[in-house]
Structure 1
Amino acid sequence: MYEFLEITRAGSVVTLWMNRPQQHNAFNAVMIAELTDAFTCLSADDSARIVILAGRGKSFSAGADLDWMKAAGEAGFDDNLADAHKLAQMFRILAEMPKPTVARVHGAAFGGGMGLVAACDICIASTDARFATSEVKFGIIPAVISPYVIRAIGSRQASRYFLSAETISAATAQHIGLVHEVVQSSALDTSIDELVRSLMSGGPRAQAAAKMLIRDVAEKAMSDALMQETAQRIASLRMDAEAREGLRAFLDKRSPDWMHEAQ
């Protein structure tokens, strides 16, 4: 049981709801610890095939709680460093979860909220969604979220939005690569359901390997070593039981076992 999180399940699809609606799902120490625990548990839960991250109330997440930020500003360096490590660890566990993660975004996704969006594999947003790396307005920087936001939007776009702290519309967020799809609020869950059906068709082990492949290959220049590494990965997976089942299912014109197990 969590104080600020709610977990719902529909078969093997898990929705993790941030549940501080009066505070627009802003982070504090308790929420960071709970998100870290939930991400860790879901990473190890083989019965969870897909994880959807969402927010109750009017916003996805407004980032850091102002009272928590104030307390951090009054603390010493060691305490601040410990808090920053906890926050950084939370984002990393989400980003490296070995299964598809989807951000369901409406309303504000500011600061750390935008970091959560970038750390997820896929983002579906409603037309009313708004994004910002607003940290410089408070005299700080989006440090621990930067690896994920820059991965999503690139350093050139980050050069603008990290410095200006401008609010980014859903349409602009899609244009710069943060958001994959923008839909009307009334169609948000329908669009996510359609995406989930597509994700369910993939083998769980293959999806985990695909996520690791992206992390390991992104930004690398082609070389003999990279060519050899990617060849070894596909050769290993071809021998896996999941790959053999996928091929048999295709040839037999049936659904693979993992789709039936997920229901």
Structure 2
Amino acid sequence: MEPYVTLSIENSVGYIEFFHPSRNSLPSDVLLQLEKTINSAGVNHAVKVIVLKSGGDRTFCAGASFNEVIAIDTEEKGKQFFSGFANVINAMRKCPKLIIGRVQGKTVGGGVGLAAATDYCLATTYASIRLSELSIGIGPFVIEPAVSRKIGNIAMSQMSIDAETFFSWQFAKDKGLYADVFDTVENLDIAVKTLAEKLASYNPEALTEMKKVMWKDTENWDMLLEERAKISGRLVLSEFTKKTLKRFR
């Protein structure tokens, strides 16, 4: 199947779904489509609440596209690539609609950042998480503000340092990344639909004001995440990272 990003609307809920055949990894074009779709849903009067989801059953998001990362040959290209994640997170942060995350399976790196940038996240017992960036010679710099905001600096640091370990759904729930966890995708979907449609029936002005309160003190993230993208864009050119990434080609 070809990669895609779609928006479908049902009962005032906008379902944004992304997909990539390589375990829902995120190359630049998918990141750009995702950013544009979030922005579009944010100003669509037919949409009261947004659900962010991915296609497939077992992997929510594998993070950055290694094929594209391997091809980066200048710091500017590196910054541009990692800015794609920054732009999506900032689009989610600034979107006036509440965003519910639906995490049906494992998620790595940038995918953890997407889950953390949702306003309320539901998952399954398959939804373990990993921040693998240090193990390939870079770090979770762009997504760190979103992840730390959601699970705290200590848990984020633990995941970053133990970069080759998948942390369980229980860890993610205990630390606050997931609000609730379900044993099947079917039960997850029922819970997501029920919550989203309930929220969509509430006063939209109140939802917007609540979102502003929830994201208080993040107004500097446009500049902050751009600076973080520069760091990743520089490190991805290191000999260590290039050598490590070749193993994934």
Band the TM-score falls in, shorter-chain normalisation: 0.7 to 0.9
Shift of 1:216: 2.0
* Match in the other structure for 1:226: none
- Does structure 1 retain, via aligned residues, the 8 Å contact 2:6–2:37? no
Distance 1:160 1:213 in 2: 28
Q: Alignment partner of 2:100: what SS?
A: strand
Between the two proteins, the alignment pairs up a number of residues equal to 214
- Does structure 2 retain, via aligned residues, the 8 Å contact 1:106–1:130? no
TM-score normalised to the size of structure 1?
0.77
Shift of 1:118: 0.4
* Match in the other structure for 1:65: 65
1:91-102 paired onto structure 2 within 5 Å: 91-102=89-100
* Match in the other structure for 1:247: none
Amino acid at match of 1:62: A
Distance 2:9 2:167 in 1: 31
Distance 1:179 1:163 in 2: 21
Distance 1:37 1:146 in 2: 22
Distance 2:195 2:142 in 1: 29
Q: Alignment partner of 2:8: what SS?
A: strand
Distance 2:143 2:105 in 1: 19
- Does structure 2 retain, via aligned residues, the 8 Å contact 1:60–1:109? yes
* Match in the other structure for 1:10: 10
2:183 is aligned with 1:184: yes
The CA deviation string for residues 132-172 of structure 1, in whole angstroms up to 9 with x for no partner, is 11111111111111111000000111121111122111111
Distance 2:215 2:93 in 1: 10
- Does structure 2 retain, via aligned residues, the 8 Å contact 1:170–1:182? yes
Distance 1:42 1:6 in 2: 11
Q: Alignment partner of 1:140: what SS?
A: coil
Shift of 1:217: 6.0
When the two chains are superposed, the root-mean-square deviation of aligned CA atoms in Å is 1.6
TM-score normalised to the size of structure 2?
0.81
2:49 is aligned with 1:50: yes
Amino acid at match of 1:77: E
Amino acid at match of 1:94: M
Shift of 1:48: 0.7
Q: Which runs of 5+ in 1 are unaligned?
A: 219-263
Q: Alignment partner of 1:144: what SS?
A: coil
Distance 1:105 1:79 in 2: 30
1:162 to 153, 160, 164: 160
Q: Alignment partner of 2:97: what SS?
A: coil
Change in Cα spacing, 1:201 to 1:10, as seen in structure 2 (3 Å) is: closer
Q: Which runs of 5+ in 2 are unaligned?
A: 219-249
Shift of 1:3: 4.9
Amino acid at match of 1:51: I
Amino acid at match of 2:28: A
Shift of 1:187: 0.7
Amino acid at match of 2:27: N
Distance 2:149 2:103 in 1: 19
The CA deviation string for residues 98-143 of structure 1, in whole angstroms up to 9 with x for no partner, is 1110111111111111110000001100111111111111111111
- Does structure 2 retain, via aligned residues, the 8 Å contact 1:54–1:105? yes
- Does structure 1 retain, via aligned residues, the 8 Å contact 2:13–2:200? no
- Does structure 1 retain, via aligned residues, the 8 Å contact 2:124–2:169? yes
Distance 1:103 1:80 in 2: 28
- Does structure 2 retain, via aligned residues, the 8 Å contact 1:123–1:181? yes
2:73 is aligned with 1:86: no
Shift of 1:204: 0.9
2:128 is aligned with 1:134: no
* Match in the other structure for 2:224: none
Distance 2:66 2:79 in 1: 18
| Identity over aligned pairs, percent | 26
- Select the structure with the greater relative contact order (CA < 8 A; seq sep ≥ 6): 2
